[in-house]
């Protein structure tokens, strides 16, 4: 009987100590580990000695493996090894179901008749702001949080008007490359130019860099600071609660940071 299966594992936002106990268990069971470029390689301490590790980086630029791995190829690998009776851990940064293609991979594996287990991880949109003391939901400031991607499959922009009017903290993944259009979309939709914005690169890692700015100054300040991908953007009043970041612009909305 073929006992092959796939574990879709979330490795968290970067810091290896944010890996869940369930993820550690899964890594120890895996015969094959397909690892994304954004995953901290310290997690490999939890795999068994004989496990095969395959780099399947998927980035807008060349990653550790020297290229961006096509999604179709990754899916073929999962099916191939699982059908050989092996346990495959597909390891992703953050959570596999939050902008991690976990949903489409789960559907594909089920259609192929392969058992699949989902192992949640701390998503960057929650864990990274928290590392700077930013509560993405704080009842004194906001009534919710919206997670949104700044880079869609067809390059169709989100409905910035609806997002600006939502009254929620906006946490934007993969937004650095399109920062100019994001800022324009939100400002044109009526969001105040003075709205605080946190930009956090390499969140929770020793290489983490972050700044607090405003919506109208974000494009200039990010370029001036030399911040790049991978980064999370937090747009909303709660961004002004950040600690340990560089305050590049002083204004009334986030003057408390200077205190």
Q: Backbone dihedral region of 144: left (phi > 0), alpha (psi from -120 to 50 degrees) or beta?
A: left
Return the beta strands (E) in the chain as ranges: 5-10, 32-35, 52-55, 87-92, 116-119, 145-149, 169-173, 196-201, 209-214, 231-235, 246-247
Q: Backbone dihedral region of 50: left (phi > 0), alpha (psi from -120 to 50 degrees) or beta?
A: alpha
Q: Any catalytic annotation for residue 36?
A: yes
Burial of 53 (0-12, 13-18, 19+ CB in 10 A): middle
Measured CA to CA, the distance from residue 31 to residue 53 in angstroms comes to: 9
- Give helix then strand counts, H and E, for the chain: 7, 11
From 58, 108, 191, 202, the catalytic residue: 58
**Neighbour-count burial for 103-121, b at 16+ CB within 10 Å, e otherwise:** eebbebbeeeebebebbbb
Measured CA to CA, the distance from residue 135 to residue 245 in angstroms comes to: 15
From 78, 106, 108, 174, the catalytic residue: 174
Smallest Cα–Cα separation from 134: which of 250, 13, 237?
237
Q: Any catalytic annotation for residue 58?
A: yes
Phi, psi of 7 (to 5 degrees): -110, 120
From 15, 36, 37, 95, the catalytic residue: 36
Q: Any catalytic annotation for residue 83?
A: no
Positions annotated as catalytic residues are 36, 58, 174
């Amino acid at each position: 009987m073929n006992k092959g299966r796939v574990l879709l594992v979330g490795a968290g936002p970067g810091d290896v100590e944010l890996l869940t106990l369930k993820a550690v268990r899964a890594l120890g069971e895996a015969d094959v580990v397909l690892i994304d470029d954004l995953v901290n390689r310290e997690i490999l301490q939890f795999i068994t000695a004989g496990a095969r590790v395959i780099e399947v980086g998927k980035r807008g630029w060349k990653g550790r493996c020297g290229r961006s791995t096509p999604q179709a190829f990754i899916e073929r690998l999962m099916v191939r090894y699982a059908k050989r009776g092996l346990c495959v851990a597909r390891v992703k940064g953050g959570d596999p179901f939050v902008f991690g293609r976990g949903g489409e991979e789960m559907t594909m594996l089920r259609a192929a008749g392969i058992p699949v287990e989902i192992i949640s991880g701390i998503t960057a949109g929650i864990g990274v702001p928290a590392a700077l003391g930013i509560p993405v939901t704080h009842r004194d400031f906001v009534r919710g949080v919206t997670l949104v991607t700044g880079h869609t499959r067809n390059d169709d922009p989100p409905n910035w008007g609806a997002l600006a009017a939502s009254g929620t903290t906006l946490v934007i993944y993969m937004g650095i490359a399109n920062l100019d259009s994001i800022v324009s979309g939100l400002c044109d939709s009526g969001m105040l130019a003075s709205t605080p914005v946190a930009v956090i690169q390499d969140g929770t890692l020793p290489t983490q860099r972050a700044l607090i700015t405003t919506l109208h100054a974000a494009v200039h300040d990010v370029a001036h600071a030399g911040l790049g991908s991978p980064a999370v953007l937090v747009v909303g009043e709660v961004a002004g609660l950040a600690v340990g970041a560089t305050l590049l612009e002083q204004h009334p909305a986030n003057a408390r940071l200077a205190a």
